[in-house]
């Protein structure tokens, strides 16, 4: 792009943008002659997809800023007016987290909708992400918008969209919205401060917060449903500098649980994330302050939600080993699944278990399928992301099957039916707190609870991690090589995917039974070689199924610069399964990803 073309983009930006801060940023870059940087931030548009928007906060079409939020809201507003004739009666819901600019972005979005005479249920202060889909469902609103970048670093922000069914949007809605945005780029005649005096602004907090809390108690509390006695049992909790403390504390009180013991350094919302530069509870070291607090006062359980409180994790102290164990996303999913199953059986003595279902993603554990086969409940696995899980749960509801749980291994859990069909860290924390209180009153631990489940159905071990890759061309090169890596090897397999992996250190060799590639839509296990799950050429997701029963998936992240891998193996001897799976993962990562050659970086910590 030459200087003249960049100048046209600069002039267009300055004609659209009314924010002095971002106007000045663009003007200074032009005055300095920094054409390359201007091309970088103006030369392409931040992509709108099923995850909405997410990116760094700065000037330019490629970033998150006031103009992008306004243009995006205009596109969504225009599309909603087209597909929902009753939107001026039903309205939309808008919430925001505690990140920099989140409140402003939410107000700008609201100003766009009221400009078109659409009522807006606007939260008056920071809320948790689950509150938005709950309010959409409760009010039968036409859409919901949550301004959040979830657990991304502090420089990022995002814009997540829920549809009228209260689930995150899926194709082709995302593509239709994208086209509508491009058709509505010129800013409409509305301002952020229009929301201050408009009668179309409705306080979403008054509608949501009390009813949400009552709903999760009614659906999930053992004390409410069965009269179960819940003994005192304090838990240390960290909000990761996010919005969670108020809402998790109120939920614990409603469940009749002991007061939370907060990690003071992380309990208040802080967009700087001073003690957690990567505020994802999955990241190594993020729970260290909570563990330190719990050690000091002798508390064996710590719980955490991510900054927008839709994800949840916990750790437990093992007295014998004198160490903390942070449970994996799949282990927590297994605990919740068994709890949901047994609660349903208690509530429906002699009931038809085939009338309930549990949904998880294709990169989550297959153990749910093992449980389902043994107990008779239905299971389904979807593409990665809660947009697919939530919509599948709604499909079950429509068919008369109660979806009692959905989950993904990335510590996202939806417990109970009729609340929301999205991740909810608040309800997950409450259910875990209640379960821990009951177990410890019986001199049991959560680790014992999990091991009892494995003893009942079989032991499943997983080995999941990721590598950072900041170069999209490198990712393309990696996966192109993977698809061609079997060509000329192992008898010249016609599909060109490698059929054997060898661990160079141990000499062990594993045979691939079949392979599924959701980038190309190929599946070697089907008669027509077409994958049963939807495929997408815009993302990478490849799964190897091995003859020893192991399953390993490699995929790219839709929101972070990561190549992720997920693996699991089921067997009678847990220790041997862990050893073999670790050796297998090492072989596949070295052969497929070639971290040193491709400059891939391991997780921090």
The predicted structure's pLDDT at residue 206: 98
The predicted structure's pLDDT at residue 491: 36
Angstrom distance (rounded) from CA 101 to CA 65: 8
Q: Are 459 and 578 in contact (CB under 8 A)?
A: no
Q: Which residues contact 84 (CB under 8 A, 6 or more apart)?
A: 90, 142, 164
Q: In which band, very low, low, confident or very high, does the pLDDT at 114 lie, cut at 50, 70 and 90?
A: very high
Higher pLDDT: 268 or 498? It is 268
Angstrom distance (rounded) from CA 323 to CA 317: 6
Angstrom distance (rounded) from CA 189 to CA 186: 10
Query: Phi and psi for 64 in degrees, rounded to 5?
Result: -95, 125
Q: In which band, very low, low, confident or very high, does the pLDDT at 505 lie, cut at 50, 70 and 90?
A: confident
Angstrom distance (rounded) from CA 335 to CA 322: 23
Q: Which two tokens stand for residue 189?
A: 């005649």
What is the share, in percent, of the chain residues with pLDDT greater than 70?
98
pLDDT at 492 over 70: no
Q: Is the dihedral of CA 381, 129, 541, 594 positive or negative?
A: negative
Rg (CA), the chain: 25
Angstrom distance (rounded) from CA 41 to CA 17: 14
The predicted structure's pLDDT at residue 487: 47
The predicted structure's pLDDT at residue 595: 95
pLDDT at 570 over 90: no
Q: Which two tokens stand for residue 239?
A: 């909000």
Helix (H) or strand (E) holding 225: helix 222-226
Angle, alpha carbons 431-323-550 (nearest 5°) = 70
Angstrom distance (rounded) from CA 227 to CA 300: 26
> Nearest CA to 340 among 280, 402, 281, 391?
402
Rounded to two decimals, what is the model's pTM? Answer: 0.90
Mean pLDDT of 451-468: 91
Q: Which of 249-263, 294-308, 520-534 has the lowest mean pLDDT?
A: 520-534
Q: Is the dihedral of CA 491, 495, 500, 504 positive or negative?
A: positive
Mean pLDDT of 137-152: 97
Angstrom distance (rounded) from CA 308 to CA 425: 9
Distance, CA of 230 to chain centre: 31
Q: Which residues contact 45 (CB under 8 A, 6 or more apart)?
A: 61, 62
The predicted structure's pLDDT at residue 537: 83
> Nearest CA to 120 among 141, 96, 97?
141
Question: Can you list the domains of the chain with their CATH numbers?
Answer: 65-209 (3.40.120.10), 211-326 (3.40.120.10), 347-424+438-459 (3.40.120.10), 462-598 (3.30.310.50)
Max mean pLDDT among 1-5, 47-51, 98-102, 224-228 falls in 98-102
Beta bridge partner(s), residue 138: none
Give pLDDT tens digits for 397-443. Answer: 999 999 999 999 999 999 999 999 999 999 999 999 999 999 999 99
Tokens 């949901």: give the residue. Answer: 340
The predicted structure's pLDDT at residue 494: 46
The predicted structure's pLDDT at residue 504: 86
The predicted structure's pLDDT at residue 496: 76
Q: In which band, very low, low, confident or very high, does the pLDDT at 252 lie, cut at 50, 70 and 90?
A: very high
The predicted structure's pLDDT at residue 142: 98
Dihedral (Cα; 365, 371, 372, 376), 10-degree rounding: 180
State whether residue 415 is helix, strand or coil: strand
The predicted structure's pLDDT at residue 495: 62
Q: In which band, very low, low, confident or very high, does the pLDDT at 330 lie, cut at 50, 70 and 90?
A: very high
**Beta strand pairing status for 541-546 and 551-556?**
antiparallel
What's the mean pLDDT when you consider all of the chain? Answer: 94
Mean pLDDT of 547-553: 94
Q: Are 309 and 129 in contact (CB under 8 A)?
A: yes
Q: In which band, very low, low, confident or very high, does the pLDDT at 571 lie, cut at 50, 70 and 90?
A: confident
Alpha-carbon separation of residue 141 from 135, 171, 273, 506 (angstroms) = 8, 20, 33, 58
Q: Which two tokens stand for residue 573?
A: 């001897």
Mean pLDDT of 452-479: 92
The predicted structure's pLDDT at residue 486: 54
Q: Which residues contact 73 (CB under 8 A, 6 or more apart)?
A: 108, 109, 112, 113, 145
Q: In which band, very low, low, confident or very high, does the pLDDT at 485 lie, cut at 50, 70 and 90?
A: low
Mean pLDDT of 273-297: 94
Mean pLDDT of 146-153: 95
Q: Are 70 and 194 in contact (CB under 8 A)?
A: no
The predicted structure's pLDDT at residue 279: 93
Which of 102, 111, 150, 427 is catalytic? The answer is: 150
The predicted structure's pLDDT at residue 127: 98
Angstrom distance (rounded) from CA 220 to CA 214: 10
The predicted structure's pLDDT at residue 484: 82
The predicted structure's pLDDT at residue 428: 98
Angstrom distance (rounded) from CA 240 to CA 343: 31
The predicted structure's pLDDT at residue 490: 39
Distance, CA of 453 to chain centre: 26
Q: Are 422 and 150 in contact (CB under 8 A)?
A: no
Give pLDDT tens digits for 25-57. Answer: 999 999 999 999 999 999 999 988 777 999 999
The predicted structure's pLDDT at residue 536: 83
> Nearest CA to 204 among 342, 92, 284, 77?
92
Q: Which residues contact 601 (CB under 8 A, 6 or more apart)?
A: 467, 468, 469
Query: Phi and psi for 373 in degrees, rounded to 5?
Result: -65, -35
The answer to whether 229 is a known catalytic residue is no
Helix extents (H) in 17-101: 20-31, 35-42, 66-83, 87-90
The predicted structure's pLDDT at residue 506: 85
Angstrom distance (rounded) from CA 414 to CA 130: 10
Mean pLDDT of 16-26: 98
Mean pLDDT of 293-318: 98
Cis peptide before 172 (omega within 30 of 0): yes
Angstrom distance (rounded) from CA 481 to CA 183: 39
Residue 186, burial from CB neighbour count under 10 angstroms (0-12, 13-18, 19+): exposed
pLDDT at 281 over 80: yes
The predicted structure's pLDDT at residue 560: 82
Q: In which band, very low, low, confident or very high, does the pLDDT at 572 lie, cut at 50, 70 and 90?
A: confident
């Amino acid at each position: 792009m030459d200087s003249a073309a960049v100048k046209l983009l600069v002039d267009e930006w300055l004609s659209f943008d009314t924010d002095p801060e971002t106007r000045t940023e663009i003007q200074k870059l032009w005055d300095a002659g920094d054409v390359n940087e201007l091309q970088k931030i103006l030369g392409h548009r931040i992509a709108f997809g099923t995850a909405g928007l997410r990116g760094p906060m700065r000037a330019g079409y490629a970033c998150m800023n006031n103009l992008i939020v306004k243009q995006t809201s205009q596109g969504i507003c225009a599309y909603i007016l087209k597909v929902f004739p009753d939107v001026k009666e039903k309205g939309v819901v808008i919430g925001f987290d505690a990140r920099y600019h989140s409140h402003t972005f939410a107000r700008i979005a609201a100003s766009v909708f009221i400009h078109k005479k659409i009522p807006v249920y606007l939260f008056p202060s920071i809320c948790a992400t689950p509150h938005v889909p709950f309010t959409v469902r409760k009010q039968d609103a036409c859409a919901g918008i949550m301004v959040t970048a979830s657990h991304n670093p502090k420089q990022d922000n995002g814009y997540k969209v829920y549809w009228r069914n209260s689930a995150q949007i899926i194709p082709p809605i995302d593509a239709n919205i994208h086209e509508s945005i491009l058709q509505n780029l010129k800013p409409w005649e509305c301002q952020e401060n229009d929301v201050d005096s408009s009668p179309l602004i409705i306080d979403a907090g008054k509608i949501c917060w009390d009813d949400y809390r009552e709903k999760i108690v009614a659906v999930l509390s053992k004390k409410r449903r069965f009269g179960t006695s819940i003994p005192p049992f304090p838990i240390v909790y960290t909000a990761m500098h996010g919005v969670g403390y108020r809402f998790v504390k109120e939920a614990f009180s409603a469940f009749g649980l002991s007061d939370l013991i907060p990690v003071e350094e992380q309990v208040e919302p802080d967009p700087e994330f001073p003690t957690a530069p990567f505020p994802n509870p999955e990241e190594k070291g993020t729970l260290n302050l909570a563990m330190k607090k719990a050690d000091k006062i002798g508390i064996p359980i710590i719980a955490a939600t991510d900054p927008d409180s839709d994800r949840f994790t916990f750790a437990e102290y093992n007295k014998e080993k004198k160490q903390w164990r942070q449970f994996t996303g799949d282990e927590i999913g297994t605990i919740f699944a068994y709890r949901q199953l047994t609660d349903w059986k208690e509530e429906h003595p002699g009931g038809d278990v085939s009338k309930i279902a549990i949904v998880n993603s294709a990169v989550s554990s297959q153990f749910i399928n093992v449980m389902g086969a043994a107990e008779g409940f239905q299971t389904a696995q979807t593409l990665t992301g809660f947009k697919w899980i939530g919509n599948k749960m709604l499909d079950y509801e429509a068919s008369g099957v109660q979806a009692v749980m959905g989950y993904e291994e990335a510590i996202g859990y939806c417990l109970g039916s009729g609340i929301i069909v999205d991740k909810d860290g608040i309800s997950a924390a409450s259910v875990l707190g209640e379960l821990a209180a009951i177990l410890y009153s019986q001199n049991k631990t959560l680790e014992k609870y999990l091991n009892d489940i494995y003893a009942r159905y079989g032991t499943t071990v997983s080995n999941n991690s990721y590598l950072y890759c900041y170069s999209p061309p490198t990712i393309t090169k990696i996966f192109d090589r993977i698809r061609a890596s079997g060509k000329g090897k192992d008898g010249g397999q016609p599909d060109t995917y490698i059929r054997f992996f060898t661990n160079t250190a141990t000499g062990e060799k594993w045979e691939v039974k079949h392979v599924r590639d959701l980038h190309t839509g190929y599946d070697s296990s089907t008669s027509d070689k077409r994958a049963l799950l939807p495929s997408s050429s815009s993302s990478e997701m490849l799964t190897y199924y091995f003859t020893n029963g192991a399953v390993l998936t490699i995929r790219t992240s839709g929101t972070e610069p990561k190549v992720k891998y997920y693996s699991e193996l089921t067997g009678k001897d847990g220790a041997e399964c862990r050893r073999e799976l670790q050796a297998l993962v090492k072989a596949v990562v070295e052969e497929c990803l070639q971290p040193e050659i491709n400059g891939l970086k391991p997780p921090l910590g």
